[in-house]
């Protein structure tokens, strides 16, 4: 019992001592920092100059041909055009096992604002000054290959913006199937 009291006493004194010595009474001075390495990184900051690299910069351009994890290119750079997309690109989903509910969800999220819920080209933005797109329930669209539609969703066409950075690949393929079901 007694030794416990002594330990508590010593601890209390130690804490008071530490507080007294780390919190400076002079407000114009910064306080003492404990373990400053945990606050200030000793690594080079991304935009700091760096004596260890050839160009003196910390942030280095990745070597040509570098592929971010999970982003295997779908086709070699520059080899895909609007003319050959339909034959080069293949829909990984067969229509009979496609997740049409997911396609419908993607359509409702990204496309119906312009194309309208049923694809008639009467989406809400067309009531607010945006020129209406053509119907996508035409023979012209039905005859397009999946790769053609995928290409135009990815890269845009005319007044339609590209969606390759907003919509994931699988979702782009699924919405391709979905718009063909619009009657």
Which residues form the interface with ligand HEC (CB under 6 A)? 110-111, 113-115, 133-134, 136, 138, 140-141, 149, 152-153, 157-161, 163, 167, 175, 179
In whole angstroms, the minimum distance from the beta carbon of 121 to ligand HEC comes to 8
**DSSP notation for 96-134:** GG--HHHHHHHIIIIIHHHH-TTSSS--GGGGGTPPPPP
The nearer residue to ligand HEC, 53 or 138, going by C-beta atoms, is 138
In whole angstroms, the minimum distance from the beta carbon of 63 to ligand HEC comes to 34
In whole angstroms, the minimum distance from the beta carbon of 146 to ligand HEC comes to 11
Q: How far apart are CA 79 and CA 138, in angstroms?
A: 29
* CB-based burial, 19-56: b 16+ in 10 Å, e otherwise: eeeeeeeeeeeeeeeeeeeeeeeeeeeeeeeeeeeeee
The helix/strand/coil state of 151 is helix
| Inter-axis angle of helices 169-181 and 146-155, nearest 10 | 120
Residue number of the CB atom closest to ligand HEC = 158
Q: How far apart are CA 124 and CA 146, in angstroms?
A: 26
Q: How far apart are CA 134 and CA 47, in angstroms?
A: 47
User: Is the distance from CB of 75 to CB of 90 less than 8 angstroms?
Assistant: no
The nearer residue to ligand HEC, 133 or 147, going by C-beta atoms, is 133
In whole angstroms, the minimum distance from the beta carbon of 128 to ligand HEC comes to 12
């Amino acid at each position: 019992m007694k030794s416990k009291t002594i330990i508590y006493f010593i601890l209390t004194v130690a804490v008071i001592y530490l507080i007294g010595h780390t919190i400076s009474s002079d407000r114009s001075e910064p306080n003492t920092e404990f373990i400053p390495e945990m606050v200030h990184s000793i690594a080079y900051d991304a935009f700091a100059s760096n004596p260890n690299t050839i160009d003196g910069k910390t942030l280095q351009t990745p070597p040509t041909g570098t592929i971010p994890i999970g982003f295997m290119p779908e086709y070699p750079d520059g080899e895909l055009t609007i003319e050959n997309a339909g034959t080069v690109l293949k829909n990984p989903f067969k229509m009979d096992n496609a997740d049409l509910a997911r396609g419908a969800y993607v359509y409702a999220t990204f496309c119906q604002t312009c194309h309208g819920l049923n694809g008639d080209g009467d989406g809400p933005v067309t009531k607010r000054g945006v020129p209406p797109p053509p119907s996508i329930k035409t023979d012209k669209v039905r005859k397009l290959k999946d790769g053609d539609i995928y290409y135009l969703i990815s890269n845009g066409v005319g007044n339609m913006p590209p969606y390759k950075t907003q919509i994931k690949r699988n979702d782009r393929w699924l919405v391709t199937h979905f718009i063909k079901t619009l009657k």
